[in-house]
Every structure is written in C-alpha cells, then in structure tokens.
Amino acid sequence: MKKLLLSISILAVLISCKPAKENKPATFELPAVADIAMYQVNPRVFAPEKSLNAVAARIDSIRDLGVNVMWVMPIYPIGIEKGKNSPYCIQDYKAIAPEFGTIDDFKNLTKVCHEHGMGIILDWVANHTAWDHPWVKAHPDWYTHDEEADTIIHPRPWDWFDVADLNYDNKDMREAMIDAMKFWITEVGIDGFRCDVADGVPADFWKDAIDQLRQAAAPRKIVMLAEGKRSDNFTVGGFDMNYGWDYKDELVKVFKGAPASDLIAADKAEYDSLPAGKVKMRFTTNHDHATETEPCVQFTNDRGAMAAYVASIFPHGGALIYGSQEVGYPEPINFFKYVPVDWTAKPEIYQEYEELIELYNEHPALRKGTMTAYPDNDVLVFEKVDAAERFLILVNVRNEPKTTTIPENWVGHQTEDEVTDKDITLDATITLEPYQYLILEY
C-alpha cells in the first residue's frame, strides 16, 4: 500500500516555480464550516493607506496558500475622543475609514475574493463603541452607566478606556446593531462576521442577530465566528465557530516542556461538549497574540513554529493563518499602527504553509476524521481516519531529537517519502529530528 510521507526538511522549490492556479468563477458558494481554512487580514501590514486595495493586489498570493475564507479586521472610522487609534474603537458601523479606502474599495475586495474562490467575513465589534460614536449623544440610554446611572462607563473588567460599553438591556440599541450588520450582508455582499468579544454580549442577542442575518443573506450561506469560548455561543447564539483559546494556551505549555499528551486532553476538553457540526478555530497566532510575539519566536524558531502549526490544525481542523506568519515575520505587530511586512521573506516558509493547507484541503480525514491518540511525553502521536483514508501524524514538540513508538498497526508498512521519493519501512520506533513532523498515509 502506498503511503504519503510529508517531511519537514527545507523545501527547495520556490513558490514561483509552481504553476499558477486558475481563478474560480465569480459565482461563489461558501464552504461547509468543517472545510474552512481562514486567512486573517490586518490591513495595517499591507499598506499605510488605501490598504484594502493593497490586500486585493495580493489576492493571488493569499489564495495560493489554499485558504477559502478571508477575515478582515475592522475597517470602520476610528474614534478620536479618548482614542488610541485602535480599529476596535468604532465611530460609525456603516462606513470605512479613509486610511483603509472607500466602500467601493471594500466592495471590490469582496468581488475579488469571490472570483478567487474565497469567502470574506468582516470583524464586528458589538460590545462597545467609540466615545464619539453618534449614539453616545443621541441615545445615552443605549450604554451602560455607573451605579449612580449618570455616567457611561468603559467595558468592565478590562482597561479599555477608549471605548464605551453598550447596554444590551435596551431593545432599540439591539435593533440598530442588527440593522448595521445587515447592511454589510445585503449592500456589500460579505459572507458573515467574526464577532469581537462575543462572550461579553448576551447569547440571546446573537441568536436574534444571526437568525436575521441568515434570513437576509438567503439563499446565500454565511459563516459566523465568535471570539469566545462559551458553550452558549453554539447552543443559544447560533455561531458556527468559536476560538480554541484553551488549546493554544496548552500548545505553548507543551512546547515549553509539558507532556505532549496534554494536547490530546486539551483537544478532547474542547470537542467533547461541542454540538455536532460546530468547529473550534485553531491557530498559533492572531492579531492579539502577535502584539506580544510571533510563532517563530514563541515556539523557538521557524521549525518550532511549523511543528506547532501541524499540532494545531490537524487534530480537528479549523485552520487559521494570520497575515504575516506565512513569511515567518519575526517581530511583534502592534495593530494600532502600520507595520510593514516583507512579503518576499522566507519563501520556503510560505511554501510549507501552502503544502500543509493543500493536504488539509485534499484529505477530509485530516481535518475532520476520527482521531485516535497515542500518549507520549515528547512526540504528539495521533491517527486520523475516515471511510476512505487513514493518516498517522507525529510531531516532535522538542528542540532536540526524540524517539517514539510507532502504533502496532503501522509497524512494518512501507511508506514513500514524497519529498525524497525514497521508500521507507516503519520500524517499531522512530527518531524525529528537532521539531520534525511526519504525516503518513496508507
């Protein structure tokens, strides 16, 4: 039986050597939630101005990674009063900040994404607004007040002093919020939302909003991603995906020395109570984490970053790439300001992400097959199986060679290394190089 072995040895073929991929027709259908591979766009790493056009200009490079949904961070006008230039400080829910471009630029980006076979979702900030949002003066009762009920407060318990906390006891505010969300669905044609601080907003609001958004979009499908981890994101709110925060936390601990098998426990804890058809988004970085460090630093080096990514996306899918990690950007990114990224850096890292997402897309078993784990202290070992395919994934989570035991049903099977074209027969044990990973199929 033929097996596929993906090695992590340095990839020698540059991106430019690969044949160009054909664009898909303009008629676009959103993939099923379990099949989503998402790319997060922080416009402030693309250009200091008119960045939506800069994103559109890089659409081939983004699409060629194999992603099928683009998530764009907030591009609305940013509040000035008490402001910090945070894109999550919204002054107007139905407009675009001149820094990023115009509404026509965003409509063009939406069109370009669809033409390239990708959905596009927009970051939505429903928990709070800027202090100079028109609602503050026109509808002060739409905001949370202090105990004396005479002063609008910032969201508690956080130190987000640049924004005013919205009051979800107010029915009129809820209706205005849903109306603003519908605008982007019906007038611009986006495919859903990533909802910021979703756990800070009542789940019954999300249910009402999501029900109305799905109705407004029909017959098109939309996808709704909650930045949260509460179970009622799904059971009440109606979200399709939420964050695998706990898994990422455990990933960091494991790469610092905790047993590799702790990742299996973390995966099980997140998925045991998950309703059927729902997905946890898995990542090694995002815009919040990137303000502190990048994967190639947090996980020691580029090899550690790639090993961590494999350990993130294959147990249960939900893959995310944060724009900049595909070129191994080494420095923190403060999304409150423009940070230029060299998109030509480390083409071998770009191609490795491309190879991994290609495997992710082409083999359903890898993203949503049944998982069987084999506990080990230093190597993450698990099988992914569906009716058609069987894979064995091994990830050395240490920066030194480690030996692990091969599951009995794999011992003695011949494999083929697709990078070197060498035939390999698996013994009872195998030694992996520092941060090496293997993806085997028979």
DSSP line for 141-166:
GGB-B-TTSSSB-PPTTTT-TTEEEB
What is the pLDDT at residue 225? Answer: 98
Q: 244-282: b or e for each residue (b if 16 or more CB lie within 10 Å)?
A: beebbebbeebbeeebbbbbbebbeebbeeeeeebbbbb
What is the pLDDT at residue 384? Answer: 95
CB atoms within 10 A of CB 404: 20
How confident is the prediction for the chain on average, in pLDDT?
92
d(CA 40, CA 69): 9
How confident is residue 50, by pLDDT bands cut at 50, 70 and 90?
very high
Residues forming a β-bridge with 329: none
CB atoms within 10 A of CB 386: 15
**pLDDT, tens digit, for every residue of 77-118?**
999 999 999 999 999 999 999 999 999 999 999 999 999 999
Model-wide pTM > 0.85: yes
- Is residue 243 within 8 Å of residue 280, measured between CB atoms? yes
Q: How far from each other are the two terminal CA atoms of the chain, in whole angstroms?
A: 6
What is the pLDDT at residue 25? Answer: 42
d(CA 103, CA 109): 10
State the DSSP code for 42.
-
What is the pLDDT at residue 53? Answer: 98
How confident is residue 421, by pLDDT bands cut at 50, 70 and 90?
low
Hey, what are 426's tokens? 């698996």
Residues forming a β-bridge with 431: 403
d(CA 313, CA 300): 19
What is the pLDDT at residue 10? Answer: 36
What is the pLDDT at residue 416? Answer: 64
Residues forming a β-bridge with 320: 38
The CB-based long-range contact list for 23-29 (8 Å cut-off, 24+ gap) reads 23/115, 23/116, 23/117, 24/115, 24/116, 24/117, 25/115, 26/111, 26/114, 26/115, 27/114, 28/113, 28/114, 28/115, 28/117, 28/118, 28/119, 29/221
DSSP 170-218: -HHHHHHHHHHHHHIIIII---EEEEETGGGS-HHHHHHHHHHHHHHHT
User: Tokens 């706990």, residue?
Assistant: 246
Query: Helices 171-183 & 203-217, crossing angle to 10 degrees?
Result: 40
Q: Taking CA 66 as the corner, what is the angle to CA 63 and CA 71, rounded to the nearest 5 degrees?
A: 65
Radius of gyration in angstroms for the set of CA atoms belonging to the chain, rounded to a whole number:
22
**pLDDT, tens digit, for every residue of 346-402?**
999 999 999 999 999 999 999 999 999 999 999 999 999 999 999 999 999 999 999
d(CA 110, CA 118): 9
Hey, what are 136's tokens? 């503050």
